[in-house]
Structure 1
Amino acid sequence: MLHTFGAVWTALSSVLTLSSWPHFSPAHDTPPKFELQKSWGVYSPFHAAEDYTPLPAGCEISQVNILQRHGARLPTEHQTEDILPGVQKLQSAEFYTDPRLDFLDTFVYSLEENLLVPLGAIQSFESGKTALRRYASLVTKDDLPFVRASGMSRVIETAKNWTAGFAAASHGVYTPRLSLIINEATNDTLQDNNCPNAGGSHKEMTEWLDVFGPPITARLNSWAPGANLTNEDIHGLMMLCAFHTVASVPYGYTEGSPLPFSPFCSLFTPSEFESFEYSSDLDKYYSTGYGGRLGRVQGVGYVNELLARLTNSPVVDHTSTNTTLNADPATFPLNRTIYADFTHDSVLTAVLSAIGLFPTHKLKTTHPKAHRVWRASEIMTFSTRMVVEKLTCERSVRGRDTSDSYIRILFNEVLQPLHFCGAKKKGPWRGLCQFDAFLESQAYSRNDGEGDWEKCFEE
């Protein structure tokens, strides 16, 4: 059973029928292999960039830690405030000079806020199925995944769909439950509200919008005389393309199938969506990413919880962890083989930055680099997931058989290079770090952010 808010979805479905609306059709400047749904930054649906990398010969997985963002959702209250002015201004125009706006004559905006949509439920259900199929050897009826969720409804529903997918893949043999919901008003390593002095990304996003927005604003104002759209309205309308599309996906959708694109998507070209995508890159980088004031430190608590599980030892942390929950084996067990935690994109960004993934120097706000590793549409989609696998490997070295432990990390199925702990770049052992080397590489988290946590509370 998929978990969303059914009554809300039933009410939405009558106003989100797209059968008579024009769908997105690529413009003349369409880049090779352009896929619209992969250009929405943090609003892109989950997609795996490559197939799962098999284990090297002689290796077995002994523990798995999954950290996953909630699935596709409706806009937040703040995002609704950004979206509505542009819609209202376009609808206030007396006439349109381009037929791509004609759908607005009968359009009614009725999206609710914050709630998980059916696509989000499907995404997490499929993720749970994948986890069981991939890690079935780690599961017994006495050793089921330990599942936590931050206490917002869309995160909770995502976790429930994951457990439902896990159970379905086992034909009901293994039925994990959501073991712990963490109150977001308390210390919560799955939420990013524990650092009062943390910075934001508004300045950088505005600077980039002032670069790519004006030509789009001018064109849409010429299509809707008198609308008087601003650059901020344009950003909101491009967000609506993504939100309107994911909200329109019905139950029964097969992950990876074509999406019913919203007519708002046809108002923009592929190159403009690539500029929009870069807005998300800047947002995550300058909020809880490498470029944010006190961004990385907001992921330290989770990393220290991860290290505790990997070493089967109590959590050592003086940042955002909940010491009461983590001291109780019922709410923070250390004897499980699979752990699954459900969170928000801001936390995942902080965690990957604290670990050292996707290392990136300063992102410019005037023009993006075409070949960059920090790309939100690849690393911070709806239902994005980081998987940390602990391996036990048997090897023959100079004629002697040895056994050792290793760590490897996959982000949306992509095996990470882990150069920071000495992983090999090529061959079957690519991306594997010796266990002790990985632990040593996490000095920033093991040292409570090396002074950054205290800065969260300085006056």
Structure 2
Amino acid sequence: MVLKSSLLAASTLVGSAVAASYSQASTEEFNLLRHLGGNGPYVQHHGYGLSREAPESCTIDQVHMLSRHGERYQTASKGASEKKVVDRLLSADVTPTGPLSFLSTYTWPATDADYEEETTMGPYAGTLDAFSVGTEYRARYGALYDDSEIMPIFASEEERVVVTAHNFAQGFLGVNYSDYSEFQIIPEDVSRGANTLTWKLGCNNYNKTLYSDYIDSFSDDYAVQAADRLNTLAPGYNITSDEVVSLMTLCGYELNIRANDDFCKLFTPDEFVAFGYSRDLAYYYQYGQGNNLTDYIGSVYANATATLLEQGPSVGKMFWSFTHDDDMISVFYGLGLFETPSLLPAEYVQFGSPFQTSEIVPMGGRIVIERLNCSGHAYARIVVNEAVIPITSCQSGPGYSCPVTDFKTFVNKRAPKTYGIECGLDDDVPWHMWFYWNWNK
């Protein structure tokens, strides 16, 4: 009787009109933007399901943002390299067919003057991205803003970084943003030492090529297979594996520039997974955990921010800063984020690695550190690309935040203030970052 009753109960549910409250489907097995290796448009970090809103009974009384510039064109050297490949394909004595049929009407999207600049058209325009973040953050952090005070905005001096900062400010402050803000343009120069937003430039002992041979040892089988496949589907072009890598790189920039995905469609998800991982390896060993000086380089911003959090809103409520992807990578490591239990292998793709370049430093990527005031107690909470990312060893506060005093201790132990020693700085070069306290008003 028990079995019969159970079967009867189950049968009545088969035709139930009650909708499931939560989807049981995985709707995003593959998202191209997560595999472009930092070359393509902004994409949110997948996160851990934690609420982006301030925890209950907490308010935000200080916020720090360090952002990469918005979506941009290629650098001049990369653009020239990719254009050379495309020009060869366009000049080939072949009638475009199959997946390359779009070449019959294709035109190169950039002029020499465009290279390295922020993009201005399409849904992935860098200027639009920065403006949109400004408007979103005005809604999120507007309570911290006092229009009777001038708001400082800090940007490294590269033009695309400065343009991003201006567009963010206009989104945050409105059309008359220049009346309410003061831009602090920080030189990208070795003479700045630690007092900059491009700390690796001031580090005399830094060497990003230290592990180049190991990075290059990652198999290019994915590119060879892609070339063979394309040459079969569109015979006569004789595409090489090196050209495949250039075209996969161009895919990201075409999206930035004009949202064109013709080159993206040439390649399979498996091929993009391998391509993205090759980029992860390069960032990891040049600027991240795999480099012997990253913790010291990343310590500068980590220590400065930890000090401001400890001092509280009396020294400032909002610190908006703009720089480059490689500098942000070092900061992540200085804060103990996205660490791997062992060094990334070049022998195979390390699936499940927390260090995924496209998720942590896409174009327009940003790290936000909030100071939470929860019933008079201060906590630090980190948000990367709109996902709350707890510190593994310090998450006892509301919403898995870290008590500010513990955060300061954690940063001091992890990122000791020995940048000047390890980087071989002269005594007349700044060993610490101080412009947040002494900006030009």
TM-score normalised by L of structure 2: 0.79
CA distance in 1, matches of 2:314, 2:74: 37
- Pick closer, same or farther for the CA change 1:413–1:175 going to 2, 3 Å: farther
Partner in structure 2 of residue 418 of structure 1 = 391
Q: Say if 2:392 is the partner of 1:432.
A: no
Shift in Å at residue 110 of structure 1?
4.2
Once the 2 structures are TM-superposed, how far is the Cα of residue 174 of structure 1 from its aligned partner? 9.8
Q: Given residue 242 of structure 1, which amino acid in structure 2 is its aligned partner? A: G
SS at match of 1:430: helix
Alpha-carbon distance in 2 for matches of 1:41, 1:223: 26
Whether 1:215 and 2:225 are equivalent positions in the alignment is: yes
2:202 equivalent to 1:194 = yes
Partner of 2:164: 158
Moved more, 81-90 or 284-293: 81-90
One-letter code aligned to 2:388 = L
Match of 2:202, SS?
coil
Per the alignment, do residues 177 and 145 of structure 1 end up closer, same or farther by CA in structure 2, a change over 3 Å counting?
Answer: closer
Is 1:240 aligned to 2:250, yes or no? yes
Aligned to 1:389, what secondary structure does the other structure show? strand
Q: Distance in 2 between matches of 1:208 and 1:96?
A: 34
Stretch deviating more after TM superposition (138-147 or 362-371): 138-147
Q: What CA distance in whole angstroms lies between the structure 2 residues aligned with 1:352 and 1:450?
A: 19
- Structure 1 pair 136/385, CA: closer, same or farther in 2 (3 Å)? same
Moved more, 228-237 or 48-57: 48-57
Alpha-carbon displacement from aligned partner over 1:360-397 (angstroms, at most 9, x marks no partner)? 13111132222221111211111111001112211xxx
DSSP-derived class of the 1:42 partner:
coil
1:415 to partner: Cα distance: 1.0
C-alpha displacement of 1:414: 1.2
CA distance in 2, matches of 1:385, 1:32: 23
Residue 121 of structure 1 pairs with residue 127 of structure 2: yes
Please tell me whether the aligned partners of residues 148 and 180 of structure 1 are also in contact (alpha carbons under 8 angstroms). Answer: yes
Count of residues in Structure 1 that have an aligned counterpart in Structure 2: 383
Q: Secondary structure at the match of 2:369?
A: strand
Please, which moves more after superposition, 78-87 or 410-419? 78-87
What residue number does 2:240 align with? 230
Per-residue CA deviations over 1:387-425 (Å, capped at 9, x if unaligned) read 01112211xxxxxxxx321111111111112123x314x
The equivalent residue for 2:418 is 448
In the superposition, relative to structure 1, how do residues 203 and 176 fare at CA in structure 2: closer, same or farther (>3 Å)?
farther
SS in 2 for 1:156: helix
Measure, in 1, the Cα distance between the counterparts of 2:425 and 2:242. 32
Q: CA deviation at 1:77?
A: 1.7
Distance 2:93 2:82 in 1: 20
Change (3 A) 1:310 1:240: same
In the alignment, which residue of structure 1 is the partner of 2:329?
349
Tell me how far 1:354 sits from its aligned partner.
1.0
Counterpart residue type for residue 195 of structure 1: C
Say yes or no: does 1:264 pair with 2:260. no
Q: Structure 1: how far apart are the matches of 2:213 and 2:240?
A: 17
Structure-to-structure mapping, 1:45-444, within 5 angstroms: 45-48=41-44, 49=46, 53-95=52-94, 98-111=97-110, 112-118=114-120, 119-168=125-174, 176-185=180-189, 186-187=191-192, 189-191=196-198, 192-196=200-204, 197-200=206-209, 202-223=212-233, 225=235, 227-248=237-258, 260-312=259-311, 335-360=315-340, 361-394=342-375, 403-420=376-393, 422-424=394-396, 429-442=398-411, 443-444=413-414
Residues 159, 178 of structure 1: 8 Å contact kept: no
DSSP-derived class of the 2:368 partner: strand
Q: After superposition, give the CA deviation of every residue in 1:88-139 in whole Å (9 maximum; x if it has no partner).
A: 3323432257422122234232413101002101111111112111111111
Q: Distance in 2 between matches of 1:279 and 1:359?
A: 17
Paired residues of 1:124 and 1:161 also in contact (CA < 8 A) = yes
SS at match of 1:95: coil
Per mean C-alpha deviation after superposition, the further-off stretch among 72-81 and 296-305 is 296-305
List per-residue Cα deviations over 1:153-177 (Å, max 9, x = no partner): 1000000000000013xx8699642
State the secondary structure of the residue aligned to 1:180. Answer: strand
Does structure 1 conserve the Cα–Cα contact (< 8 Å) formed by 2:170 and 2:177? no
Q: For residues 76 and 174 of structure 1, what CA distance do their matches in structure 2 show?
A: 29
Structure 1: distance between partners of 2:115 and 2:390: 38
**Cα drift, residue 268 of structure 1:** 0.8
What residue identity is the alignment partner of 2:378?
S
**Counterpart contact for 2:71–2:256, Cα < 8 Å:** yes
Q: Per the alignment, do residues 418 and 244 of structure 1 end up closer, same or farther by CA in structure 2, a change over 3 Å counting?
A: same
Change (3 A) 1:32 1:69: closer
Distance 1:189 1:279, change over 3 A: farther
- The answer to whether the 8 Å contact 2:153/2:320 transfers is yes
Inter-CA distance 32–434: structure 2 relative to 1 (3 Å threshold): closer
| Distance verdict in 2 for CA 1:66–1:32, change over 3 Å | closer
Give the alignment's Cα RMSD to 1 decimal.
Answer: 2.8
Q: Structure 2 counterpart of 1:413, which letter?
A: E
- Counterpart residue number, 2:10: none
**By how many angstroms is 1:274 displaced?**
1.6
Structure 2: any 5+ residue segments left out of the alignment? Answer: 1-26, 428-441
TM-score (normalizing by structure 1): 0.76
